[in-house]
């Protein structure tokens, strides 16, 4: 019995230490405050990132913020953020213009951070710094044409050669008529119905009887001549 007493005493001390240890270490607290995802709150995570950057996020969400363990990827909510390193590289397939084109030219996701006027919004980064034309990123020449006029080159696919159907004799017609509405319904704004409608090219007015396959107009300006004018071969 006396031999067992030191063993029992040791076990009792070990149990006490174990109990105290558990009570001295509180349960893990969650990483973010309750209003972490409330945009109007002072605790909103977007404000934290703007103030301090996202370096502290990578410890849980992964170096590329693509998720790690139980921490989700930032892209699960923000399809465009964080932007790829090639976001501003014109020739890269991840260039922001190429992304917008793949998204059927929708800029709604841009406005979430940069504001409805693209002047910065919650991101504090203005798109108008680079897009200086009238309308900023929604200027006609952002997607087709140039600062000279909105008619190609370049076309929506980036083509500049007149042999491309999207380019063709656009500038020749602009020199002669000076207006897009001679052949097209010209939208007043980017969001006008029928402007961005999933069709990869602008529709020509029915009265021109345009044949895209042959590159010719059946009726209109060229019918009084014997010569056959082909849009992308002249």
Tokens 């402007």 found at: 195
- Domain ranges for the chain: 141-234
Q: Which residue has the higher pLDDT, 191 or 16?
A: 191
What local confidence, expressed as pLDDT, does residue 23 receive? Answer: 41
Tens of pLDDT, residues 69-125: 888 888 777 766 667 778 888 888 889 988 888 888 888 888 888 899 999 987 888
| pLDDT of 142 above 70 | yes
What local confidence, expressed as pLDDT, does residue 224 receive? Answer: 57
Residue pair 87/95 in contact by the 8 Å Cβ criterion: yes
| pLDDT of 13 above 50 | no
Q: Which residue has the higher pLDDT, 80 or 157?
A: 157
What local confidence, expressed as pLDDT, does residue 25 receive? Answer: 40
* Preceding peptide of 57 cis, ω within 30°: no
Tens of pLDDT, residues 26-67: 334 467 888 888 877 888 887 788 777 778 888 888 887 778
Q: What is the mean pLDDT of the chain?
A: 80
What local confidence, expressed as pLDDT, does residue 175 receive? Answer: 92
How is 26-80 classified by DSSP, letter by letter? Answer: PPPPPSS-TTTT-TTSTT-HHHHHHHH-SGGGHHHH-TTSS-BTTBPPGGGT-TT
């Amino acid at each position: 019995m006396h031999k067992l007493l030191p063993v029992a005493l040791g076990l009792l001390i070990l149990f006490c230490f174990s109990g105290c240890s558990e009570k001295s270490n509180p349960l893990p607290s969650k990483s973010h405050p309750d209003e972490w995802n409330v945009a109007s709150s002072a605790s909103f995570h977007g404000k934290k990132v703007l103030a301090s950057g996202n370096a502290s996020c990578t410890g849980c969400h992964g170096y590329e913020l693509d998720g790690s363990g139980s921490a989700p990827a930032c892209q699960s909510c923000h399809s465009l953020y964080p932007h790829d390193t090639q976001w501003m590289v014109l020739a890269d397939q991840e260039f922001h213009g190429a992304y917008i084109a793949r998204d059927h030219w929708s800029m709604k996701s841009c406005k979430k951070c940069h504001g409805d006027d693209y002047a910065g919004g919650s991101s504090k980064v203005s798109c108008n710094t680079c897009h200086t034309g009238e309308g900023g990123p929604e200027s006609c020449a952002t997607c087709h044409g140039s600062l000279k006029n909105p008619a190609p080159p370049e076309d929506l696919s980036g083509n500049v050669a007149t042999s491309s159907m999207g380019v063709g004799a656009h500038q020749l017609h602009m020199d002669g008529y000076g207006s897009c509405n001679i052949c097209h319904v010209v939208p007043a704004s980017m969001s006008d119905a029928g402007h961005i409608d999933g069709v990869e090219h602008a529709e020509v007015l029915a009265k021109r009887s345009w044949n895209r396959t042959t590159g010719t107009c059946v009726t209109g300006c060229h019918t009084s001549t014997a010569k056959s004018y082909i849009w992308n071969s002249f």
